[in-house]
Structure 1
Amino acid sequence: MSASTPTTATPATDRHQQGTAQVAVTGLAVMGRNLARNLARNGFRVAVHNRTTSRAEALVEEFGHEGDFTLARTAEELVAALERPRRIIVMVKAGEATDAVLDELVPLLDEGDIVADAGNAHWRDTVRRHAALADKGIRFAGVGVSGGEVGALEGPSIMPGCDADTYGELGPFLEIISAHVDDEPCCTLIGPDGSGHFVKMVHNGIEYSDMQLIAETYDLLRGPLGLPVDAVADTFRAWNDTELESYLVQITAEVLAHTDADTGRPFVDVVRDAAEQKGTGRWTVQTALDLGVPVTGIAEATMARAVSGDTERRAAVREALEPVDDGDEGGSDAAAVDLSVDDLRAALYAAKVVSYAQGLDMVREGSRENDWDIDPADLSRIWRDGCIIRARLLGDITQAVEEHPDAPSLLATPTFAAAVADRLPALRRVVTAAVASGTPAPVFSAVLAYVDALRAERLPAALVQGLRDYFGAHTYERVDREGTFHTEWSKDRAEVEA
């Protein structure tokens, strides 16, 4: 769609009977405001609304020259401003705030109108809302959006979950404003009801793991390897020209190179070391447990944030377990295991691959459990640009998943099996150096343990099953014949078929 001639925003009251706006955005915090601007910049006629009217007024006053905005001061004006079927994008805080907006809007809508929740909703809430609105004849979409405030304005990765007919009405708007790779939009129909928000949740879980791996790499570069902050920044900057090229590696270099204006110290040294979270990491881990899918990297990254924020307990344990000074300084422990910068580069790549593999495993199982029919290749394709986890790696993942759609894991595809196998010695040296130097590296450690568990011919789970059978008669299976068995542990220890 070609851009329209810039116009001054017209109040909805003056166009009450016209209904000429093509799409509306309600909820004009940073993300909602930038999505509305993105739509207008791409030539769409956009109605804007916010419960605090001054926000909507400020948007059209400051950015009205960017496109055709309709200012709506009430929900009634917003609905009246739209052509039919109405398309309303809700961009408010997940949870009760979203329900409050829907409660206000839905009575004003007609059968066939579309409401799209583009916030970070829990996917189960989206399933619930989809069903409730369907009973009223209103079409509902749960739309995952990633890219931060810049992405929302310039082109995010968009993950819509809705019915096919709803996507037929809403999809063209979303595809045009999304990021593009080789003229291909980073937006596609994920599946029905809660699938879009489910995928966005998993995306955020991978993001947690990726960021924690980068943080652990930084810690090992500064601690055991003894590099100054500026050298660590240079290292990440150089890595961004390799197979590690990604948005997160790029901005890591920028954050580490930043100097605090007040103190002249590295910015990273004046920031409190307590990471916050908004809940999507926890949701990912909780859902993975419900599905029975191991996402150990994501889980440890989520726990690492929780540990970092537990500052009172950290201080108490640090004092209680104050180590005896053994005279070692700097990188002596790392040197003992020949840790190098190249080891960290190789280990980071391998660990990132495992994080993506675990996330895709979870998507597959969630899709199967909920009958969503999600294509994992679609995800790696639309994550190539616009989103926080965009990376060169995703192009290779797309190809591997397309060429081996039946592979039970990304790690079982030839490309990534070889890539991880080649880097396992480096990953093992990194974890060894972390343990030897007392540098916490929970995600590196969890990733290595996960790969080792998958590769093992036999796991100690056999003993676990024996113990479960001993105290709870939970039974077990044998390797040499079919059936389920129980040993009479409290009697003569005879084995019986369960």
Structure 2
Amino acid sequence: MNQQPQQCDIGFIGLGVMGKNLVLNLADNGFTIAAFDLDNDKVSDAIKQDKFENNSDIERVIGCSSYTELLSKLKSPHLIVLSVPAGEPVDQVSESLIGAGIQPDDIVIDTGNSLWVDTVAREEKYKNNFILFSSAVSGGEEGARFGPSLMPSGAPYAWTRIQPIWEAIAAKVDPKTGKPLERTKPGQIIEHGEPCTTYIGPAGAGHYVKMVHNGIEYADMQIICEAYHVLRAGLSLSTDEIADIFEQWNQGPLDSYLMEISVEVLRHKDNEGKPLVDLILDKAGQKGTGLWTAVSSLEVGAPAPTITQAVYARSISSFKELRIAAEPLLSGPEQITFSAEEKHAFIENLHDALYCSKICAYAQGFQLMKLAEKEHGWQLNFANIAKIWRAGCIIRAAFLQSITDAFQRNEDLESLILDEFFAQQLSKNQMSWRKAIAKITLMGIPAGALSSSLSYYDSMRTAVLPANLLQGQRDYFGAHTFERVDKSKGKKYHVQWGTPDKNMIEI
């Protein structure tokens, strides 16, 4: 009697760093996976690593050499996860699956960082061939292996099938404290705790939320880097001294994954005992999601200067040769000296500047999502979004619990800066913030994200901005019209500026 071939729970395509670790995570949680990659060695490596970590010959990961073989080894209706680069590779795999015989009730989950509008277009394009679902993944290699934050969106029916799997592999937090419940070794399972995944909304919504997550990530990284730069170049502190400061800051409201790893990076030495960070070329890379966030903020009219400045900072860093040429030509201020007492006070002010700027970056990101929600007809649950970012993702931070609390107090909250807790934090620390920015400016050290955050704060707390003059200018040269504060809302006016009597016309 012939033994029936094993029918796997999940098909998986793409076994790069993220894909392989997601496969191992799925296997740890009791799922069998049929795995395929164009590089057969990657399939073999994943199988070998799973057997080694599981210390067993039980096959939890089954290798496949073609799309057709992968489909043949799956339970029907098929559930297939893609971990391939965004863009054309997603379509190439989709077309290959169609050629291999995928069915209309099969589900394909795109876990890459696809541009959200591409996801919307793909769902429509392939709707007669299969159900395209998307689920952005955050947390990097470690998150994928031991519990990522997952942002799924698409057909609600597909989510009913995916939900138990995603809740099993996602990062978990303690429901009482909101703190991460960390899984750090293969085979370890956390059965209790809130999973860091929730249904985001229709096609594209999950990738949009992940895009904004990455925009906030850009900002958070940049303000930490600017604080490091000020301490290194302005106070001439060693990398170990800065690591000590960051480690102390990480015990308070700045507690976050990014602060934690910054400490480790600063402490790392090369083989000769030199700080490795001093030897890393200062040209920052980017994969596009921060840029997409900045562009989207401009498109929907959401002010996001901290996020946008973080994107610009990476662009400026790429002009290494130009900066080298400009350094001897462009003068800066004389170096400021600090007494021990002044140094201590400045470091405390810098902490508060970093904290306030971080609040502004998150406020900008959530306001952007809120405006996008209105524009695209989504119904986003911002408390849940903050919840699933508390663990498993790059921007996980202690104060995400405070953001969750803010939206639970008021689900219609227009901006985090209007929440009582965050308004108090900004108001209480704003003078320290100002002192830090003023001193940094006198030092001549670039701090675009920190300073633009303060400008954002001051703009948002100012009832009357100079846009009145700007509207007058626009009307003068282009007859663009304006409204008046002393007339009915919506009434438009134009002044014949170039005529002797400068008549005003109601439009």
Structure 2 counterpart of 1:489: 497
Structure 2 counterpart of 1:10: none
Could you say what the CA RMSD is over the residues aligned between the two structures, in angstroms? 1.7
Give a deviation string over 1:440-478, Cα, whole Å, max 9, x none: 000011100001001112111111000000000000000
Structure 1 counterpart of 2:276: 267
| 1:142–1:196 Cα contact (<8 Å) kept | yes
The residue type equivalent to 2:391 in the other structure is: D
Structure 1 residue 198: Cα displacement = 0.5
Match for 2:287 among 275, 278, 294?
278
| 1:223–1:331 Cα contact (<8 Å) kept | no
Unaligned runs of 5+ in 2: 175-192
Give aligned-pair identity as a percent. Answer: 40
Structure 2 counterpart of 1:7: none
TM-score normalised according to structure 1 size: 0.93
What secondary structure, in the 3-state scheme, does the structure 1 residue paired with 2:33 have?
A: strand
Match for 1:441 among 447, 463, 478?
447
Matched, 1:46 2:33: yes
Structure 1 counterpart of 2:144: 152
Match for 1:343 among 334, 343, 349?
349
- Aligned residue pairs total 478
CA spacing shift, 1:56–1:452, aligned 2, 3 Å: same
| 2:104–2:127 Cα contact (<8 Å) kept | no
Q: Aligned partners of 2:476, 2:377: CA distance in 1, in Å?
A: 38
Matched, 1:205 2:218: no
Match for 2:124 among 123, 127, 131?
131
Q: Aligned partners of 2:504, 2:283: CA distance in 1, in Å?
A: 53
| 1:339–1:433 Cα contact (<8 Å) kept | no
Q: Any residues of structure 2 matched to 1:60-75 within 5 Å, and which?
A: 60-64=47-51, 66=54, 68-75=60-67
What secondary structure, in the 3-state scheme, does the structure 2 residue paired with 1:141 have?
A: strand
Structure 2 counterpart of 1:230: 240
The residue type equivalent to 1:281 in the other structure is: G
The residue type equivalent to 1:149 in the other structure is: E
Give a deviation string over 1:89-108, Cα, whole Å, max 9, x none: 10011111111111111332
TM-score normalised according to structure 2 size: 0.91
What secondary structure, in the 3-state scheme, does the structure 1 residue paired with 2:286 have?
A: coil
Structure 2 counterpart of 1:474: 480
What secondary structure, in the 3-state scheme, does the structure 1 residue paired with 2:356 have?
A: helix
Q: Aligned partners of 2:123, 2:483: CA distance in 1, in Å?
A: 42
Q: Any residues of structure 2 matched to 1:293-332 within 5 Å, and which?
A: 293-323=302-332, 326=334, 328=335, 330-331=337-338
Structure 1 counterpart of 2:98: 106
Structure 1 counterpart of 2:180: none
| 1:143–1:158 Cα contact (<8 Å) kept | yes
Structure 2 counterpart of 1:118: 111
What secondary structure, in the 3-state scheme, does the structure 2 residue paired with 1:480 have?
A: coil
Structure 1 residue 316: Cα displacement = 2.4
| 1:161–1:193 Cα contact (<8 Å) kept | yes
CA spacing shift, 1:477–1:329, aligned 2, 3 Å: closer
Q: Which moved more, 1:150-159 or 1:397-406?
A: 397-406
| 2:332–2:444 Cα contact (<8 Å) kept | no
Matched, 1:80 2:72: yes
What secondary structure, in the 3-state scheme, does the structure 2 residue paired with 1:56 have?
A: helix
| 1:245–1:392 Cα contact (<8 Å) kept | yes
Q: Aligned partners of 2:332, 2:257: CA distance in 1, in Å?
A: 38
Q: Which moved more, 1:341-350 or 1:24-33?
A: 341-350
Q: Any residues of structure 2 matched to 1:348-367 within 5 Å, and which?
A: 348-367=354-373
Q: Aligned partners of 2:463, 2:116: CA distance in 1, in Å?
A: 37
Q: Aligned partners of 1:133, 1:145: CA distance in 2, in Å?
A: 22
Give a deviation string over 1:234-283, Cα, whole Å, max 9, x none: 1111111111111011111111111121x322111111111111111101
